[in-house]
Structure 1
């Protein structure tokens, strides 16, 4: 197989559609392409650093070996870059998209997002993907000449549309699109499509690993999933004396490898069938061109379904999530009533009219890490019973 077969479809940094705000070339900052600069701006951002204390599966885990949003993002980037290299796509753009994709998550994962959306109902709602763009295009502002990180058009459109065209953007994404149109009705680049699937591969397998490590699911239960059962059988046949911990590690590696190889082969076939010859034709193709085979897609859905039923909705996980969500709800409403308790820099820029006032407080709340939110709750409202390292 020619591993550079899709190179003509890659986003070319030398033909980028540019940045919203033109920048002078700074020769003293190294010979980097526009997509390499995007990646580095993400890595050096405060928002990226905060991911180390944001929920992946377990809220505020004390266990050093459980994943958080930061480690998950790094694992997604490794998978995404591997696939991009095999296909001849732009590795730097793919990596940057993978690293940034979860930056918009509030504290306490999806439970926290539900709270934010509910309280923001009369102010335009809350969506973590749109908030990711809001952070990167406006809130994170370390540069003297403009707000935001001033990322490339390809980076912003990939983050906005990595799950496909956006027909009804919320207020945050609509504002960004109005200022720097991202062609929201079209599909994104192949790099963005690969980043989305790398996310699925990573969290399917690594959440499974964390669930096993926490003792919330067992290998015997996992064997109810045909895809997992077949992989376990092959490993046990090949390595009959392997201990449990190494068996699990081998299972995770094997499944990631199978899914990655399937993604590469299927994407090549689907792109070939579509007859596209450029990145712009990929966007105009009218459908997603990266993907799994029908068999692998079915296997992936079955594993995801198992994890939702047995891990994400496990009674112990749900109990902590509900407690955390209740605390976040109280804390958000307390800040709405007393915004003067926000840090001084947030108070100084608090709008006086709605919905801008509520959205400003939401921006502050969404930036909180799990542990900061719990700390503010305990300092201001009262004790909260949160088991350590669930």
Structure 2
């Protein structure tokens, strides 16, 4: 039996006025929720979800039981968010990502939706366990853009799956993995993963041993890299021995009392058919792009097609320029060869050639310029050998002088 040493740290970031992240660590359950929707209630959404999911913090007989319980907890949190929006229409459009881990013996159970992330650091290597439910990740998975292009894509913050008043039955990713002593599990909001390179995260995980110190260091890395977004880190170290149970603890929005205005007017619950995150805040939240209407997915796809066309045009222009440069270089080189001459043999007689004594594959870089009446057989053995090996000339006049000397030597 192994036990994790855990820590949770949340920071508002350098630009935001409020912290819309929530985190939870307990004896068996570990959660990060990143609220979206700006002033429409991102902080409320993450806090409601984290507190509802924390109710699933208990010992489970099997990992499969924990997997079912976590999935059910996320669905229940989704329903609670929808009910809250029904009661408080000013919160329309609020939502939250959730990434959660439950420990069952020597296994870890993950439940995940959105773009917060779960990482495993094992034997010096950092691996992303969760998959981002974002528009650009779909483009990467379909091969339409590269991971490097996704990192700078203008729509990289558009969520395709989220808990909230978006879908009555959201699709939750679940996974059961083995864990062992020495493993470090990291759950973080995109305030860390979007601003700190993975190699830097791995460096902190490797060199900062104490769990809480490592968690604080990761948050500091996000702030040092500009950190405009809220950043929340939950870190688990799996160690030998039974250990002592950790008392439940919330950070971020879930650590403070919920505060939102009552709304007396009610309306039917809006459940768009698209899984695209249609958040409509009174003031947009820059960390998550907020589409305006259900046709936004088509707009994004068309924009990506335009980007693809621009990439193809750019590639064709660059390829054309490269081909033109190669052709120009070849022409320059060929013209240079045609300014040179040499003396050689042609059908048993001495001849003058224009070009150089080399070939490029089947392409000859010389041509017969002038034949003479001098028989190679009339030359001395040394001269015959020199002519057969060719004699370089500085120019045409020099080639003619060489021929004149050979004619005199042959008795011509």
Pair in the same fold by TM > 0.5: no
Which structure has more helix as a fraction of its residues?
A: 1
The structure with the largest alpha-carbon Rg is 2
TM-score, length basis structure 1 = 0.25
* TM-score of the two chains, using structure 2 as the length reference: 0.24
